[in-house]
Amino acid sequence: MSKKNRVAIVGVGYSDVGRATGLSLTKLTAQAGVAAMEDAGLKPTDIDGLVTHSFPNQFVSSTHTAAMLGIPDLAFYSGNVDGAAYSVAAMHAIAAIESGSAETVLTFRTVHKAGQGGETFRGGGGPQTIPGNMQLAMPYGSIAGPHWAGMYMTRHMAMYGSTEEDFGSFAIAQRKFAVANPTESFFHEELTMDDYLNSRYIAKPLHLLDCDYPVDSSSALIFTTEERARDMKQKPVFFDSWANGTTKEADFSLVEDMTHSSPWMASRRMWSRSDLKPKDVQTAGLYDGFSFIAMQWLEALGFAEEGGSGAFVRSGATSATGSLPTNTDGGACNVGRRHGANFFIEVTRQLRGTAGDRALPNNPKVGVVSNAVGGFAACALLTAD
């Protein structure tokens, strides 16, 4: 395929991250934006595009963010909340740059721990009435992500004979990377299978240790054209191919086939637009809002056989010395819920050689990142020269 309009990641940055930072959404966003500009060696006047995809109740608008950061004029901005978490911001930025709508785009995912998941529904008071289609789920107690995620796991077990030990193998492998990332990980002890199996169930078969770790965080990345990227401070990381995918059902619990949902659509589309093959990929950052999602991606992207993600992980393939080191920062289960932005950042750091002590022995030049599962998904192939 033509590579003449390649888009590059040229800067990455995080805000302070923690369980209770006391920092506002705007301050988190500002911190991450400044960090990404510093990483890229860019000034606010170098930015002409801004994307701030976030949860509806956690919204800091693009125009507010630009004003706060001293960005004088936006040629492109977007703040939609629909779709596959951070990757929607990335893909709006890429599309804007590919189309010539903007040249250098700053993107965000800001997430506050407060008000997330079930906590939203824990308030006291009288009868609670549920509008919209949620009234066809909530009266059944189907309220939070673990419920649909647990149902995906049960379906996988029924179709392929996979076991809780298979799922645990991923949590254990991912934690090894977290231990090697003491500055960013919240967890510093290796996991045993007993630790995993003895962690309480949230929605059996889904265990506590399958869930990402809610934190206050903002993540920012800067994208620009290949031409501009060549002159910048960091070695650029390029998008070779990227794609979205959806199912014809919007509700995660009602997708036609829980073992072949949107990651298969996005993967097929992504590979069809690239000369690269799964065997060329040297590191992966796979969304783990629930660890099982990352295992679905191993299968969808063609790294593991269908139903074989557990065996693939147990073989050591996703470890630092394996064929596909996966979630080398420790994943969102360990470095906190960043809605997928951490994988774009970590794979970028590995490919451009700024991963420090965590630099992979295979010196990767090709990586893959992914976001979400079920009703919508996205993935991208990243390369460095």
Output the smallest distance, CB 191 to other proteins, in A: 20
Q: Which of 203, 243, 347, 351 binds other proteins (CB under 8 A)?
A: 203
Measured from the CB atom, the residue of 310 and 325 that comes closer to other proteins is 310
Query: For residue 329, which of 163, 205, 217 has the smallest C-alpha distance?
Result: 217
Q: Which of 26, 61, 63, 154 binds other proteins (CB under 8 A)?
A: 154
* Interaction mask 259-288, other proteins, x per CB under 8 A: ------------------------------
Cα–Cα distances (Å) from 78 to 31, 68, 86, 262, in that order, read 20, 16, 13, 23
3-class DSSP state of 217: strand
Verify binding: residue 151, other proteins, rule CB under 8 A.
yes
Measured from the CB atom, the residue of 4 and 200 that comes closer to other proteins is 200
Q: How far apart are CA 291 and CA 309, in angstroms?
A: 12
Output the smallest distance, CB 300 to other proteins, in A: 18
Q: How far apart are CA 328 and CA 18, in angstroms?
A: 20
In this structure, the strands spanning 217-225 and 206-207 are unpaired
Q: How far apart are CA 376 and CA 251, in angstroms?
A: 10
Cα–Cα distances (Å) from 49 to 62, 66, 90, 100, 106, in that order, read 9, 9, 12, 11, 6
Cα–Cα distances (Å) from 206 to 149, 154, 215, 262, 296, in that order, read 7, 9, 20, 20, 14
Verify binding: residue 152, other proteins, rule CB under 8 A.
yes
Q: Which of 5, 21, 101, 142 binds other proteins (CB under 8 A)?
A: 142
Verify binding: residue 82, other proteins, rule CB under 8 A.
no
Calculate the CA dihedral of residues 249, 53, 349, 378 and round it to 10 degrees. 20
Output the smallest distance, CB 204 to other proteins, in A: 4
Q: Which of 67, 81, 136, 193 binds other proteins (CB under 8 A)?
A: 136
Verify binding: residue 333, other proteins, rule CB under 8 A.
no
Residue 307, CA atoms < 13 Å, CB-side half-sphere = 10
Q: Which of 114, 130, 193, 197 binds other proteins (CB under 8 A)?
A: 130
Output the smallest distance, CB 146 to other proteins, in A: 7
Amino acid code (one letter) for 109: R
Q: Which of 22, 56, 127, 361 binds other proteins (CB under 8 A)?
A: 127
Q: Which of 33, 83, 146, 330 binds other proteins (CB under 8 A)?
A: 146
Q: Which of 254, 276, 311, 359 binds other proteins (CB under 8 A)?
A: 254
CB-CB contact of 303 with 296 (8 Å): no
Residues lying near other proteins in the complex (CB under 8 A) are found at: 117-118, 121-122, 124, 126-133, 135-144, 146-147, 150-155, 158, 200-206, 248, 251, 253-254, 256, 258
